[in-house]
Amino acid sequence: MEKLLATPLSSPDESSDVVDTQNAKHRVNRRTGREYINQYELHHKLGAGAYGVVLLAKDLEKNNMNVALKILNKKQLMKSKNDTKAQNNVLADLRREIAIMKKLDHQNVVKLYEVIDDPNSDNLYLAMEYLPGGPCWKKDSPTFQESLCRAYMRDIIMGLEYCHDNDIIHHDIKPDNILIGADHKLKICDFGVSMLVPAENDEERCVRGTPPFLAPEIINGAKTHQPYAGRPVDVWAVGITLYMFLYGFPPFKGKTIPDTFNCIVRNPLRFPNKLTPELMTLIGGILDKNPATRLTIAQIKEDPWMTMGGAWPFPVTNNKIDVNEEEMDKAITTLLPLSLIIGIKLKMGRHAENARKNLAVSRASMSQLEQSESSPSQTNDEEGDNTNSESRQSLSLIPQNTPEDPSDVQTNPDPNGPTVPEVEEQRQQNSPQVKKSGCCTIF
C-alpha cells in the first residue's frame, strides 16, 4: 500500500511533445496571496471529483496562456480501494490514460501539455488545454438546430476517428466529455476509462461508460459473458449524444439503472418531434441495436446529411500514433516507499533542530537570538514569493482529501438551408460564452 502511495505518475517520453517534470515547487506571493506550482499561477476551481480538482492556471512561461491544471491526489486514489488488486487496477487505468494523452495530437481532442510528477508529493499535476466553453451541452440547455448539430457532429466524428485510427476506444462519449474550445470547436476529453484495442482484435468484455450511453451489446455481454467490439460502442454513444442535442434527453432512459438497461436493449427508437428524413435515417443507422449493421465512422462521413449532399466533405484521414506497452510502463515510475521518505524527512527535521540549538548557544545575547529565530528561513524573490516544496506545504486551493463523488448522459440539401459559412457563424453564436468556467472531467 505504501509503495503504491509513493508513486509519481510520469517519466520522460522522447517521442512525445508533452513535458515531463519531476519537481513540483510551491510558491506563495506574500503581497497578493497568489499561489504557484512551478511556472503555473493558480486561479479558481473549474471542477472537482473523487480524486482531486481541476484549477484554472496561467503558464507564466507562455505569455500567461490559460491551462486547466488537473490535480490528482494519490492517497485518495488508493483509499478508494481496499485490496491491492483493485489499487493496481486504479493505477493501471491512470497509467493508460497518461500514456494515451501523451500521444494524442488532434484539433478535436484535448491536448496534454505537461505532467508534473514529484516523488516527494502526494499529488500529480496534469497541465492540459483549457476549453473555456465547457461541455457542449448541459442539463436544461436549449436544444440545437440541425445545422449546429451537423457542425458539432463533424467535430466529434473527426476526433473519434482519430482515436479509433490509433486503436483507442474512448468508452465514455457523452456531452460532459465533449468540450468547447476558444475557437468554438468541440474537443473530446477524459480518457480515464479508455482502452487500447487493436483493430485486428477488437473484442472487449468490461462494462465501461455511463449507463444511458451504453450500447445494447455491452449490456447483453455482461449477462452472457460474451465479448463485444469496441468501435461500434463509441459510435452508439455518438448517436445518443446527437439525439440529446436535438431533444434534450436520451432516447432510452428508465427510472433506475436496470430500467435504463432494459430500455436500451428492448425499446424501439422513437422521435418525439419530426426531423428531416435524412437526419432521422442517420440517427436510425447509428442507433442500430445490431453492432454488425450499425453505421461505421467511414459511413457516417459519407452520409448526405453530414456532408450537406456532398457540399461539405470531410478532410483527409488523420495521422496514426503508437502507444506500446513500454510507453505505458513508463507513464508511471516506481519511487521510494512513502515510509522511507517520511523517515528521511523526520531525520532532516531533527538535524535542523540540533543546528538551531547550537546557533542559540553561540549568540552573544538574547536579543540577537530572538532576531535570528524571527528571520525568514527561506529566501524570497523580489516579488515577495515564499518558495517551498509542495510536499512540505499543501496548497490551500487543493483539498488533501477530496470526498468521493457520489454520482455515477439530405441527399439533396435544402436550397434555402444554411451554407457552410452560415453554419460556422451559428456555431459561434450558439456556443456558451463562459468566462469563469470550462471543465475537464476528472477521476
Higher pLDDT: 240 or 182? It is: 240
Q: Give the pLDDT of residue 209.
A: 92
Q: Residues 146-159, buried b or exposed e (16+ Cβ, 10 A)?
A: bbbbbbbbbbbbbb
Q: Give the pLDDT of residue 393.
A: 45
The confidence band for 300, taking pLDDT boundaries of 50, 70 and 90, is very high
CB neighbourhood size of 411 (10 A):
11
Q: Which CATH number fits domain 2-130: 3.30.200.20, 3.30.559.10, 3.30.930.10, 2.40.50.100?
A: 3.30.200.20
Higher pLDDT: 319 or 149? It is: 149
Rounded mean pLDDT of 34-59?
A: 91
Rounded mean pLDDT of 314-335?
A: 64
Going from N- to C-terminal start, the domains of the chain cover 2-130, 134-324+407-430
Q: Choose among 47, 136, 130, 124: nearest CA to 90.
A: 124
Find which of 44-58, 333-347, 381-395 is predicted with most confidence, using mean pLDDT: 44-58
Alpha helical stretches, state H, 168-296? 216-224, 230-247, 257-266, 277-286
Q: Catalytic amino acids?
A: 172
Higher pLDDT: 63 or 90? It is: 63
For the chain, give the percent of residues with pLDDT over 70: 65
Higher pLDDT: 82 or 370? It is: 82
Residues in contact with 230: Cβ distance below 8 Å, sequence separation at least 6, in sequence order: 169, 171, 195, 197, 202, 203, 204
Distance, CA of 265 to CA of 289 (rounded, Å)? 7
The confidence band for 93, taking pLDDT boundaries of 50, 70 and 90, is confident
- Strand-pairing partners, residue 115, are 20, 126
DSSP state of 377: S
Q: Longest C-alpha distance within the chain, in Å? A: 95
- What pLDDT digit, counting tens, does each position of 371-389 carry? 544 444 443 444 445 544 4
- Collapsing DSSP to helix, strand or coil, 59 comes out as strand
- What pLDDT digit, counting tens, does each position of 119-164 carry? 888 889 999 999 999 999 988 889 999 999 999 999 999 999 999 9
Q: Which CATH number fits domain 134-324+407-430: 1.10.510.10, 3.40.720.10, 1.10.10.10, 1.10.238.10?
A: 1.10.510.10
Is pLDDT above 60 for 417?
no
DSSP 238-274: HHHHHHHHHHSS-SS--SSHHHHHHHHHHSPP--SS-
What pTM, to 2 d.p., does this model score? 0.73
Q: Choose among 107, 92, 276: nearest CA to 185.
A: 107
Higher pLDDT: 36 or 323? It is: 36
Residue 139 annotated as lining a ligand binding site: no
Q: Say how far residue 4 (Cα) sits from the centre of its chain.
A: 22
Q: Give the pLDDT of residue 360.
A: 54
- What pLDDT digit, counting tens, does each position of 231-246 carry? 999 999 999 999 999 9
Burial class (CB in 10 A: 0-12, 13-18, 19+), 304: middle
Is pLDDT above 70 for 70?
yes
Rounded mean pLDDT of 186-211?
A: 89
Higher pLDDT: 356 or 287? It is: 287
Distance, CA of 192 to CA of 210 (rounded, Å)? 12
Is pLDDT above 70 for 65?
yes
